[in-house]
Amino acid sequence: MNGQIAWGELFFSASGRAARAPSWLATLVLLAVAAVYEALVGPTLHWLTGWFVYPALVYCGACVLSKRLHDRGRSGWWAALILVSVVAVWPHPNGFLDFVFFLVLVWAAIELGAMPGEQGTNRYGPNPLRVGLAA
């Protein structure tokens, strides 16, 4: 492996680590799919298909977030707080509690999107940016 992560592994496996760039791209893909789904599907069809679409998006989001949290040395269970915050403020925040959830999302964006992963190997695996250099 040359240090790059496979898309299937990124979206469907919560184990291991993922660097910032693939995580950002995967997050943008998931948000775009959710936004396009919301825009294209009518209320009746939304009620029927949402039972299949949203659990799949949440599962994929949990996998992406878990890998990125692992890269930062955090437990993947923190993804639950982040996903609850996304659901609470989607499509727009409304009220004080949503403001708190919004602050959680700001923390997540800084922690997972701006800060680099742990150097070297941690308890979740080798550094995804250094895998190709280990050979």
What DSSP assignment string belongs to 11-65?
HH--SS---HHHHHHHHHHHHHHHHHHHHHS-HHHHHHHHHHHHHHHHHHHHHHH
Inter-residue contact 83 to 42 (CB < 8 Å)? no
Rounded to 5 degrees, what are φ and ψ at 125?
A: 135, -175
Rounded to an integer, the average pLDDT of 1-20 is 83
In this prediction, residue 101 has a pLDDT band, given cuts at 50, 70 and 90, of very high
What ranges do the domains of the chain cover? 7-114
d(CA 103, CA 94): 13
pLDDT at 134: 47
Rounded to two decimals, what is the model's pTM?
0.85
Confidence of residue 80 (pLDDT cuts 50, 70, 90): very high
For tokens 């979740």, what's the residue? 124
